[in-house]
Chains A and B, each alone.
Chain A
Amino acid sequence: MTFVSFLIIDDDQLDRYLLMRDLKRGGLDVKVFECRDGVEAIEFLSNFEANRSSQGKAFPPRILFLDINMPRVSGFGFLESFQKLRTQREEYAQCAVIMVSSSEHPDERVRALAYEGVVDFVIKGRTSAEELRAKVDAVLAGS
């Protein structure tokens, strides 16, 4: 069974839970990390060495699911910081980001996909577990 690790960054606990269930349902061996906003996520990723030693191959996560509307630091705020991290650690260059938003505003999709590493954009509650699996497979096939 293919092993994949994910990082879900979303302030809504229920949304994080449902995404995790969707991912686990897809017949993959998964490890899911969770962060409640952009600040927590940057702190988590910045702590590379410690996470690497405690999480092993699960760190860094292969795919990041990133919400846009979050308190403190939004999804776009996170992307700005993450771009710097990617230049500092080549391991992060392998991380793909899939945006997960409640917003259907086309401007947000265009803006998000312009960031390096952002590979897809899904609307919350509109994507089935099967579709999600297909998106994950597409990322894995590209690597």
Chain B
Amino acid sequence: MNHSILSLIEKTRSIGTWSLDVAASTCDWSPATYRIHEEDPSKRIRLEDGISYYVPEHRSIIERCVQEGIHERRPWDIELQILTATGRRRWVRAIGEPVFEGADLIRLQGVFEDIDERKSLEVEREDMLRRIMEGERIARLGHWWWDATSDAMEWTPGTFRLHGKSESLPAPTLQEHFAQVHPDDRERLRALHDRAVETRTSYTAEFRLVCGETGKHVRSEASPKHDAEGDLVGFTGVSIERTNEVQAQLRIEELNRRLTLALEGARIGVWDWNLITNELIWDPRMYGLYGVEETEFSGAYEAWERGLHPEDRTEAVEKIQRAIVDRVSFDAIFRVLWPDGTVRTIQGMGDLVLDAGGKPVRMVGVNWDITEIVRTRAELERSNEELVQFAYRTSHDLSSPLTAIRRLATYMQQDLVDGRLEEVALNVAAIEKRVSAMEEMVLGILNTAKADLTTVHPEPIDLGALLGDLAEDHRALSEEMGVDLQWSVEVPEPPCLTRIRLYQILTNLIGNGIKFADRDRAERWVRVTATCREERLYLTVEDNGTGMPSADDGQPYEMFARFHSGVSGSGLGLYIVKKHIGALGGKIRYETSPEGTRFHLDLPMKPSTPLRADHDLR
């Protein structure tokens, strides 16, 4: 009866029995025990054979159990792993107990249960839990459970770690958890949670935890759980630390802010060209650089090409296409032609963006306006060239008379020896005249430099008073030449100009008019008129002198241009005039004939920009 029941049990539960004859060291296995061991049922099993089925790491355990069973009469019930006859690992529950007859131990007997399926699941579950814990640690996240009835929470190790708390402490209540949330975020999180409880819906919250020196940024996602009746029992949640991400995001936002400031400050436009779709994205500054409204831009690459100056289009397009083909950066200077006809010079740069296969998919770049830089560079080059010319001509014009004086001195020594004192006296006068001319030239150079080097501001100028001063300055010369200086001013309000520049313009023109007076005329005069029309000041300086060369080739305005023999002068007068006119934003022209010369000056009544230091020539 017992045997039959055991057989039934063996069939249903994979349980086998065994007994060990202690004296003979032989085992008696039931069929199920053989099956569990996947052993041939005809095989005779001795004690050492039975032990050898256990995996090596468990063999000593079962040996100790058997020894303790024999010598200390202690039963055992343990879970160990065997290696079946076919080489498979299998978990078994091994139960054994000593059997006595009177005081004598006659055998050991027991049960084998195949628990491999259950044990494997357990091991798998433990592994999974271990992996989850490891995942929590790596991902800096933790899981939690909140019981709606008791307000108690359960935390996984990851959640403890996230809150900077020891796992040995009990998990807090929800209210205790809220206390650890940053005060600025606490009420918002509480309200979010209360609402989720009320509506039984999931929620996601971003908040800061007060822990450690700097605190932590956390995102929590929670889902409600209900019982079979649909009543809320609590929330399960996952919290993940986002401190690094938030800080990185804040850094990116800060960098973006700085970049935007830099781009705006430098007026740099950013473009992004999708080479696959041909779509061209411009940031707001790009429209300004091309003189178009955002609504006028189609967003296609061809729209960029159309904005280029026709003379630069081919080269710019070739450069950008070559950059794509050669996989290099794009770097070009080109002009753009605005719809209103304005021409600006642009510096463009771009880098390719490649896909995973190394194929160019986008080009991202910048544009900025270098019109003023190009203009300034040209101006600087011209200015440098002028300076070189100035140095050359100054040294030349200063050395020539010195050489002449030295040579003259040689002849004067000879004349003194020969007693030709009248000749010597004439030559002393010639030297004096030549030295005076040099003085005048040096003064002219100083005046030029003075106006260029001095920082001066535009100021309202009383033209009548200025012309009065000029008349006084030229009184001696005009009396000597018999020239009458006349002027008329019909300007309702004083022009706002740089006084030193206007003074030097007029003193040179008036001085020339007096110096080049025609002595054959009975009446000799220089006339200055000033009128004003539409914010422009018109000045004329007219004389009935000997005239001068025509202005066709600009030569009269060149440095050291002189065209009257026998009349002293630095050769810088008209050069200075032209320079100042340019600095004031005006224009000059003249007409001349043997009947006289008339200069026309066209100047702004005030600077085009608000009053500022007149530093344009520095």
Contacts and interface: CB of A to CB of B under 8 A. Distances in A.
Specify whether A and B are partners. yes
B200 interface: no
A34 B400 CA distance: 20
Contacts of A36: 565-566
B408 interface: yes
B565 A14 contact: no
Interface string B582-605: 000000000000000000000000
B384 to A, nearest CB: 20
Given A37-B565, A70-B565, A71-B564, A18 B408 contact: yes
B453 to A, nearest CB: 29
Nearest to A11: B565
A125 B396 CA distance: 12
A15 B404 CA distance: 7
Contacts of B403: 124-125
Q: Which of B404, B407, B566 has the most CB of A within 10 A?
A: B407
Nearest to A71: B563
Contacts of A37: 565
B35 interface: no
B252 interface: no
Nearest to B405: A14
B562 interface: yes
A72 interface: yes
Interface residues of A, number: 16
A17 B400 CA distance: 15
A71 B562 contact: yes
A54 B44 CA distance: 165
A125 B409 CA distance: 13
Contacts of B186: none
A13 interface: yes
B416 interface: no
B100 interface: no
Interface in B524-573: 549, 562-566
Interface string A91-129: 000000000001000000000000000000000110000
Main SS at interface, chain B: helix
B390 interface: no
B404 A72 contact: no
Interface in A6-42: 11-15, 17-18, 21, 36-37
Contacts of B565: 11-12, 36-37, 70-72
B411 A21 contact: yes
A18 B404 contact: yes
Contact of B434 (A14, A72, A102, A124): A14
A73 to B, nearest CB: 10
A18 B411 contact: yes
B404 A125 contact: yes
Given A14-B408, A71-B563, A71-B564, A125 B430 contact: no
Interface size bucket, B side? 10 to 19
Contacts of B411: 18, 21
Interface centre among B401, B404, B427, B564 (most CB of A within 10 A): B404
A136 B404 CA distance: 21
B563 A102 contact: no
Contacts of B563: 71-72
B463 to A, nearest CB: 33
Contacts of B427: 17
A78 to B, nearest CB: 14
B564 A102 contact: no
A18 B407 CA distance: 7
A70 B430 CA distance: 19
A124 B566 CA distance: 19
Contacts of A17: 408, 427, 430
B562 A14 contact: no
A61 B566 CA distance: 24
Nearest to A21: B411
B430 A14 contact: yes
Residue of A13, A21, A70, A102 contacting most chain B CB atoms (<10 Å): A21
Given A18-B407, A18-B408, A36-B565, A13 B400 contact: no
A44 to B, nearest CB: 15
Contacts of B434: 14
Interface string B406-422: 01100100000000000
Contacts of B562: 71
A13 B404 contact: no
A17 B431 CA distance: 12
Interface in A45-101: 70-72
A70 B562 CA distance: 8
Contacts of A15: 404
Interface in B446-471: none
Given A36-B565, A125-B404, 17 more contacts: A14-B401, A14-B430, A14-B434, A15-B404, A17-B430, A18-B404, A36-B566, A37-B565, A71-B562, A71-B563, A71-B565, A72-B549, A72-B563, A72-B565, A124-B400, A124-B404, A125-B403
Interface of B: 396, 400-401, 403-404, 407-408, 411, 427, 430, 434, 549, 562-566
Interface of A: 11-15, 17-18, 21, 36-37, 70-72, 102, 124-125
30 contacts: A11-B565, A12-B404, A13-B430, A13-B566, A14-B404, A14-B430, A14-B434, A17-B408, A18-B404, A18-B411, A21-B411, A36-B565, A36-B566, A37-B565, A70-B565, A71-B549, A71-B562, A71-B564, A71-B565, A72-B549, A72-B563, A72-B565, A102-B400, A124-B400, A124-B403, A124-B404, A125-B400, A125-B403, A125-B404, A125-B407
